Amino acid sequence: MNTTPAGGTDESFIALRHLAGYGVAMNQSETGQLAEAVRLLNRTSVLVVGDVMLDRYVYGTVERISPEAPVPILAIERELAMPGGAGNVVRNLTALGSAVAFISVVGDDQAGSDLTGLIGGQPNVEPWLLVQGGRTTTLKTRLLAAGQHLLRADREETSPIQPRLAERLLRIARDAMAATSVTVLSDYRKGLLAGELPAQLIAAARESARTVIVDPKGPDHSRYAGADIIMPNRTDLAEATGMRVDGEAAIVAAATALRQRHGFGAVVVTRGNDGMTLLDASGARHFPAEAAEVYDIAGAGDTAVATLAAAVAARLELPVAVRLANIAAGVVVGKVGTAVARAADLLTALSPQGGALRKIVSREAAVEHVQRWHHKGWRVGFTHGPFDPLRPADLHWLEEAREACDRLVVGLKSPVAGATQPEAARAAMLASLASVDLVTVFAEQTPDALIAVLRPDMTVTGGGSVRAGSVVPAAS
């Protein structure tokens, strides 16, 4: 593996070396150096090969039981579709700013067509979604009400892809490897990475001097023999080795056996609430979990492997890359649904600043906060204005608005013609108020677009009047 950050200097790389193996506690210098590592991630390029699926979420309310059977009736309010499986790895890589080549197989059905549009619409992605006639594209449909799953229905085909399609996929992958730094094999056991294809892809990567990272599934890890890094979870590790994994010593023993058995360069074990363990030629390192709060574990593994891949592509040393992956996983489990960790999220998690300034967030982050609050059943209020200057009457109005809801979001209008204070100062003053829970900036003439994506339960106008909005379930 290469050891100098792409686009960086040898000096910056040397400064990052000593971060290897650090736990949660860091001093300001260490935090700054790890933050610099985050800023290298958007200069990377990664190839992802794996099983793609369509995740469909159906949100609604339940107010009665069916007279036909003892089951709830979901009154559907809205639907959301997004790429899942290896497609979620791609989402996380683009969220970090990486350029991605993505190779997968879909069927000639509506779900396959939807996935083609969703993947192709992402920034910095070169998609190669090959179509197999008659194949069923994997579709997972989740029905939710009040933030709770009522039912999940799956439609899928797990048989191996056609041999000719596998040959074409391998040819495309060889070309894509020449244009990218790292290859990720994301195996969800839906038939793409079956038979000899994983071994052929790993051999092709070796010929191209490219690092291969595998997110494995199933008990047979011999299919990935020779990979540079394999990233099993605790259950995968137990199945693959037949050994106990009920403690750090047991995990190290099992990871050692797995590494030696199949010639892996390194094994990174994701351990849920216990963090991650890295085992390579230099020994074992444990990284405690870094999540402040856990709302939803969906997609955390995809986030971890994507962040690890971007960090390795940036030529950071492996312990630093694992540390970033661990932080990213901690970020997404604090969000609702299959979420992503952006570079800004990682920098926020690393920030030594606390309190008020963390209330100032981007529009995307504000949406995620509101979804999280809705998931907990809290009523969210919204108000807006230029607040230039912030007057005593504004303070009274904001306090009244906060009393009418559980959490208050303030939309700060900027720019403002003839403003007496810069945007940053106005945002900081609002964030310092106990009555304000979140501040986000909008540049439009009206806040309508911001309100449309936030979907608050109520809006409060400058005159203090309250307009109720529709109460919405938490979104993914």
Report the pLDDT averaged over residues 121-131. 94
My answer on whether 462 and 313 are in the same domain is: no
Least confident of 38-52, 54-68, 183-197, 342-356: 342-356
Q: How many domains is the chain built from?
A: 2
pLDDT > 70? residue 139: yes
> Could you list the residue range(s) of the whole structural domain that residue 364 is in?
355-468
Helix (H) or strand (E) holding 306: helix 300-313
Strands of 271-358 (E only): list them.
276-280, 283-287
My answer on whether 202 and 307 are in the same domain is: yes
- Nearest alpha-carbon partner for 1 in 151, 183, 191: 183
Task: Say which residue the tokens 């540049």 belong to.
Answer: 443
Last residue within a domain, chosen from 350, 380, 411: 350
My answer on whether 34 and 165 are in the same domain is: yes
What is the pTM assigned to this prediction?
Answer: 0.74
Active-site annotation, residues: 302
What CATH code is carried by the domain that includes residue 109?
3.40.1190.20
Which positions ≥6 away from 160 have C-beta within 8 Å?
166, 191, 194, 195
Phi, psi dihedrals of residue 23, rounded to the nearest 5°: -90, -155
CB 311 within 8 A of CB 62: no
What pLDDT is stored for residue 336 in this prediction?
A: 56
Last residue within a domain, chosen from 350, 380, 397: 350
Most confidently modeled of 262-271, 329-338, 407-416? 262-271
Say which residue, 28 or 136, is predicted with more confidence.
Answer: 136
What pLDDT is stored for residue 467 in this prediction?
A: 45
Last residue within a domain, chosen from 297, 323, 350: 350
My answer on whether 269 and 177 are in the same domain is: yes
3 belongs to a structural domain: no
What pLDDT is stored for residue 28 in this prediction?
A: 53
pLDDT tens for 237-248 read 999 999 999 989
My answer on whether 361 and 318 are in the same domain is: no
Least confident of 126-140, 303-317, 324-338: 324-338
What CATH code is carried by the domain that includes residue 404?
3.40.50.620
Per-residue CA distances from 79 to 17, 22, 75, 141 (Å): 46, 42, 12, 10
What pLDDT is stored for residue 293 in this prediction?
A: 52
